[in-house]
Amino acid sequence: MNFASDNAGPAHPSVWEAMARADRGHATPYGNDDLTRDVANRLRDLIGLPDAAVALVTTGTAANSLALACLCPPWGRIYCAREAHIEVDELGAPEAFIGGGKLTLLDTEDGRFTPDTLRHAIASAQSGIHANVPAVVSLTNLSEAGTLWPLADIAEVVEIAHGAGLKVHLDGARLANAIAAADYDLRDLFATGLDAVVFGGTKNGLPGVEAVILRNGGKQLELEQRRKRFGHLLSKHRYLAAQMDAYLTDGLWRDLATRANAAAAKLSQGLQRKGATLLHPVQGNEVFCALPRAIHRALNAGGAAYYLIPDASLDGPEDAMLGARLVCNWSTDEDEIEAFLALL
């Protein structure tokens, strides 16, 4: 009954098999192997951008930071959700990779800011030499509240941003869950005009690979230089490529996300039947809900693992309502959910 994080789950067997295949014999290191080239091209094909710049890295923090560093000058300003991962959970890595930059936080509802909030923020930026210059808008899909950004809203954000001379970055740590839920293709996503996308694999069944994708293929070398300069070019790169290879084969990325989403749906339905209040709509593989502290204590004692949101203590008044985040992954099975609901 581990709902702490999709990061807590195992990797999918077919990924290990792909790595074992890649392990045979010698391969040119540092990404100059055939599999790496092939995988990058398959990604370009899937997104419908044959010239896109592509690079693989092992963490979402590195992926987001590299993408932003390719879009934002040291004196630039990035607009993002107040609770965005790049603001809250990356210990300043985006600013470190950019060598500057400043994040301006937008208020959100259910994890998403509105087009109007963005418009207003950009319009109220101070002109002149003294303030950071608006440069990038960053979205997260699934949002930090587990909700979807509808394609039309993404397109509107891109339109606003481009109209004001800004680029748009999408943090896609759970992009597979979003796309599987809304049932469209990677091509549809890129057709909105997004400038940079992190296509995450780690939370969705890979040991550890994220793809950084830039629309502007002219930035391929810069992307690789920045990756190397922060120590993120793996010598035995074939093992990253193999993970992505398996991920893209037969739509594994979509299947794994669909399973995780289904588990979350089942979990949230059960929770609601038992009287829990959902804090946000459940649209992917994350469930945010409120329960009395007494229940949390019982669940904890029964072996259920998940985070209280925000950080809260199990000590205190029994009837206080505490928020919780429960995350499902591809391997979350029915028994686990049933056991959890039974504990409730």
**Region 4-63 residues binding its own copies, contact defined as CB under 8 A:** 4-5, 7-11, 16, 19-20, 23-30, 57-63
Structure tokens at 96: 């470190």
CB count in 10 Å sphere of residue 219: 19
Q: Smallest distance, Å, CB 152 to its own copies?
A: 31
- 169 makes contact with its own copies (CB under 8 A): no
The backbone torsions φ and ψ at residue 16, rounded to the nearest 5 degrees and listed phi first, read -65, -40
- 100 makes contact with its own copies (CB under 8 A): yes
Q: Smallest distance, Å, CB 127 to its own copies?
A: 6
Cα gap 85→98, rounded to integer Å: 16
CB 11 within 8 Å of CB 239? no
Q: How many residues does the chain have?
A: 344
Residues 108-147 as x/- pattern, contact with its own copies by CB under 8 A: ----------------x-xx-xxxxx--------------
CB 324 within 8 Å of CB 146? no
Q: Smallest distance, Å, CB 110 to its own copies?
A: 20
Q: Which is nearer to its own copies, 158 or 219 (CB)?
A: 219
Q: Which is nearer to its own copies, 187 or 229 (CB)?
A: 229
Q: Smallest distance, Å, CB 299 to its own copies?
A: 16
Cα gap 128→319, rounded to integer Å: 53
Put the strands of the sheet holding 210-214 in their side by side order: 53-57, 210-214, 196-200, 167-172, 133-140, 76-81, 102-106
State which of residues 72, 81, 84, 90 lies at the interface with its own copies (CB under 8 A): 90
Q: Smallest distance, Å, CB 331 to its own copies?
A: 8
- 99 makes contact with its own copies (CB under 8 A): yes
CB-count exposure of residue 294 (10 Å: 0-12, 13-18, 19+): middle
Q: Smallest distance, Å, CB 87 to its own copies?
A: 8
Q: Which residue type is seen at 204?
A: N
Q: Which is nearer to its own copies, 20 or 273 (CB)?
A: 20
What residues numbered 267-306 form the site for its own copies, per CB under 8 A? 305
State which of residues 311, 315, 319, 335 lies at the interface with its own copies (CB under 8 A): 311
Q: Smallest distance, Å, CB 48 to its own copies?
A: 27
Q: Which is nearer to its own copies, 181 or 198 (CB)?
A: 198
What residues numbered 146-165 form the site for its own copies, per CB under 8 A? none
Q: Which is nearer to its own copies, 158 or 284 (CB)?
A: 284
Cα gap 327→175, rounded to integer Å: 15
Q: Which residue type is seen at 106?
A: L
Residues 189-228 as x/- pattern, contact with its own copies by CB under 8 A: -------------xx---xx---------------xxx-x
Cα gap 241→57, rounded to integer Å: 10
Percent helix / strand / coil, the chain, rounded to 5: 45, 20, 35
Pseudo-torsion of CA 20, 21, 26, 31, nearest 10°? Answer: -90
Q: How many residues bind its own copies (CB under 8 A)?
A: 72
